[in-house]
Amino acid sequence: MSESSQGPIICVDNIHKSYIMGREAVEALRGVSLCVERGEIVCLMGPSGSGKTTLLNILGGLDSPSRGHVIVDGENVVALNEEALARMRLHKMGFVFQAYNLLGNFTAEENVEAPMVLAGMKNGVRRKRAKELMSLVGLADRAHHYPSELSGGQQQRVAIARAMANDPAILVGDEMTGDLDSTTGFEIMALVSKLNQEHGTTVVYVTHDPRMSKYAHRVIQLRDGRIVTENGNGHDSAAVVKPGELIIDDDGKQIVDRGKQ
Ligand code: ADP
Ligand code: MG
């Protein structure tokens, strides 16, 4: 691993994102700086329209900022071409959305296999891993069911198994529990916590539900495209970047200089 594996896994520095709507520019993000440590669970909260999804999509390499730096696992994401970005998402990121987004014509297990097919994994290895992942999310006995034969909570478990397919370093979740009743929502968040604890997966998730934020080590509040507060949720939180702390060399290797190293 590169030396960057010591530092935060994600850093964004003073990112801005504007959308042009006709003749108006909508400023979805107005200067957000943030680092996420390896193994951390970070929750993004804030009112509707505050920029949560925009920030999450930029952290996950699904969208790019209008300006500012984004470093993921030592890579300068803004400099990657579309192909390199797709590879980064496939191998380093697992995505879970509110709407599950499973492929309806495929069984649960085949859905879990899909990212492994894209990654070129051999048949036998892939099948075995898909079965293990179905067990990991507590659905070994539903492997051959189609999404329409599963409850919302079960579909979201399959989506989580699929997100974990290529053993991503980072799990990114946007309103993962948004369509679920609270009991099922808690079960989904408990599963995410388990993956964090047992696999060391870093998790960044968005929720508008304060009850779902308690699973995070750190809660970050957004308002009008800016970070307004951070709460450590009782855990150590050294990952806040202050202006001038973020230093990126040409390879995107050195991420944060807190004057300690
Ligand atoms: P949240 O997830 O917190 O509800 P979003 O990140 O989705 O907020 O949106 C932040 C702001 O950016 C909102 O004002 C929204 O209308 C605007 N926005 C988001 N995506 C687009 C887009 N594709 N085109 C234009 N405006 C957008
Ligand atoms: Mg959103």
CATH of the domain at 118: 3.40.50.300
Q: Give the other-Cβ count within 10 Å of 196's Cβ.
A: 19
- Minimum CA distance residue for ligand 1 atom 22: 19
Question: How many whole angstroms from 48 Cα to the centroid of ligand 2?
Answer: 7
16 found inside a domain: yes
129 found inside a domain: yes
Question: How many whole angstroms from 15 Cα to the centroid of ligand 1?
Answer: 15
Q: Which atom of ligand 1 is nearest to the CA of 20?
A: 25
Question: How many whole angstroms from 180 Cα to the centroid of ligand 2?
Answer: 16
Distance of CA 119 to the CA centre of its chain: 19
- Minimum CA distance residue for ligand 1 atom 18: 28
Q: Across the strands, what pairs with 20?
A: 25
236 found inside a domain: no
Distance (Å, rounded) from C-alpha 210 to C-alpha 45? 8
Contact status, residue 60 vs residue 93, Cβ threshold 8 Å: yes
253 found inside a domain: no
Domain residues for the domain of 34 are: 3-231
Count of domains observed in the chain: 1
Would you state the pLDDT for residue 247? 52
195 found inside a domain: yes
**Which of the ligands is closest to the CA of residue 32?**
1
Contact status, residue 93 vs residue 166, Cβ threshold 8 Å: no
User: CB neighbours of 174 closer than 8 A, spacing ≥ 6?
Assistant: 52, 53, 56, 95, 96, 97, 98, 205, 206
Question: How many whole angstroms from 208 Cα to the centroid of ligand 1?
Answer: 15
11 found inside a domain: yes
- Minimum CA distance residue for ligand 1 atom 25: 19
162 found inside a domain: yes
Tens digits of residue pLDDT in 91-144: 999 999 999 999 999 999 999 999 999 999 999 999 999 999 999 999 999 999
% of the chain at pLDDT higher than 90: 84
Tens digits of residue pLDDT in 159-200: 999 999 999 999 999 999 999 999 999 999 999 999 999 999
Would you state the pLDDT for residue 229? 85
251 found inside a domain: no
- Give residue 231's identity as a one-letter amino acid code: N
pLDDT at residue 241 is higher than 50: no
